[in-house]
Structure 1
Amino acid sequence: MPRYLVERTFADGLHIPMDDAGAKVVAGVVTTNAEHGVTWVHSYVSDDRQKTFCVYDGPSPEAIRQVAERNGLPVDAITQVRVLDPYFYVDQGS
């Protein structure tokens, strides 16, 4: 399945509480994604909490956009990516 990097901007910052309410929000996103064949792998959040860089597996950029809209999440850009493992090159040089 293709992997995508999804860039998002949150003008007021991303605030997910570290409690049951936050867990419920995240579970809702995961459930909605799964209904459309999309898996949220993990995310990176900038120190100011205004930008996120999220890694997703999904069938297409359109599927990623659909679930983002259903989850009420912004999308600045979607880029298909693949892993570049620097240790692969280190191991080859041995």
Structure 2
Amino acid sequence: MPLFLIERNFAEQIELNVDGVNAITQINGEEGVNWLFSFLSADKRKSYCLYEATNPEAIREAARRANVPADVIIEVSQFNPERMLAAAA
């Protein structure tokens, strides 16, 4: 499945509770979107998230339904978490 990096710009910090996370997870599943990994910028105003999805439109629709931004969506070629973990060790 294609991989996409999503940049989200937040006007203010978002804090999600368990119900909010569950709602977003359900929406993602309904749209065929699978979250893999996220980074938060030091100022907590941007996040960078890696997703699997059939296309960018599925990500945009999931973001619209969840009422979260998806400002930039870039298709990427690969993600190798084992390599990241080995480098951190």
Task: Tell me if TM exceeds 0.5.
Answer: yes
After TM superposition, the structure 1 = structure 2 runs for residues 1-94 of structure 1, keeping only pairs within 5 Å, are: 1-16=1-16, 22-83=17-78
Q: What residue ranges of structure 2 are gaps of 5+ in the alignment? A: 84-89
Counterpart Cα distance in 2 of 1:61 and 1:69: 12
The Cα of 1:84 is off from its aligned counterpart by 6.2
- TM-score, normalising length: structure 2: 0.82
Quote the RMSD (CA, aligned, Å): 1.8
The Cα of 1:13 is off from its aligned counterpart by 1.8
- TM-score, normalising length: structure 1: 0.78
Q: Give the number of aligned pairs.
A: 82
SS in 2 for 1:32: helix
Runs of 4+ in 1 over 4 A off after TM superposition: none
Counterpart Cα distance in 1 of 2:46 and 2:76: 19
Q: In the alignment, is the contact (CA less than 8 A) between 1:13 and 1:48 conserved in 2?
A: no
Q: What residue ranges of structure 1 are gaps of 5+ in the alignment? A: 17-21, 89-94
The CA deviation string for residues 37-79 of structure 1, in whole angstroms up to 9 with x for no partner, is: 1111121111221000011100000010000000001111000
Amino acid at match of 2:20: V
Over the matched positions of the two proteins, sequence identity in percent amounts to 37
